[in-house]
Amino acid sequence: MSDLFPRWYNQLPLKIALGLLVSAVVVSAGVWYYLTPKYSRVGYQPIQPVPYSHATHVGQLGLDCRYCHTGVESSWYANIPSPSVCMNCHSQVLPNDPHLAPIRDSVKTGAPVPWVQIHRTSDFVYFNHAVHVNRGVSCVSCHGQINKMVEVRHEQSLTMAFCLDCHRNPAPNIRPLDQVYNMTWTNDPARQLEAGVRCVRDWKIRSSHNCSACHR
């Protein structure tokens, strides 16, 4: 009596099991690799070559964001300050601190300080800092309470959904222009929302939902 099924059918369960195992390994490796903070970004907090504390400079000393990030109101990007900006103060304050050696060396040699970039969007996304801060979007909306961070971390996801939520309902993230750089403007959500609604109405803000606004 001949076999009802070809002989290779006997190996089919083994092949299926191996296929499932390989798939599970690939999926697990992909999740482990791409969902680490370096790729999902939220919580990403790299060690920088110079331990700069926003909690000290902004939170305690009251340094304005624009003193270091000079281009934020006129450029699409918020620039990292040059070492000479740091030395405006540190030529007198802690001038020989070993932690500041990379800054002093950079001033002498002209070589850039190798800062590690924390906040970034995908290459296919266009984001303009100037447009947002000049329409009342504070630093804290995207960067969190930067004034309390000893080491800067990636606070928000900055995903498409994150941006669209704000574009569809901007009022909670809008504040008077003279409060954009005030990291502790108000802790009252109702008051902030009321001010945001008023600003959106008075300034006739119409956040674009068109793909071309961010994808150019």
What percentage of the chain reaches a pLDDT higher than 90?
Answer: 69
Q: Is the pLDDT of residue 11 over 90?
A: no
Delimit the domains of the chain by residue range.
16-44, 54-60+72-78+117-213
Tens digits of per-residue pLDDT, 27-71?
Answer: 877 766 666 656 678 889 999 999 999 999 999 999 999 999 999
Q: Is the pLDDT of residue 1 over 50?
A: no
Q: What single string gives the DSSP state of each residue in the chain?
A: ---SS-GGGGGHHHHHHHHHHHHHHHHHHHHHHHTSHHHH-TT--PPPSS---HIIIIIIT---HHHHSTTTTTSSS-PPPPHHHHHHHHTTSSTT-GGGHHHHHHHHH-PPP-PPP-----TT----HHHHHTTTB-HHHHH-SGGG-SS----S---HHHHHHHHHS-GGGB--GGGTT-TTS-S-HHHHHHHHHHHHHHTT------GGGT--
Who has greater pLDDT, 123 or 98? 98
In this predicted structure, what is the pLDDT of residue 33? 64
pLDDT mean across residues, the chain? 89
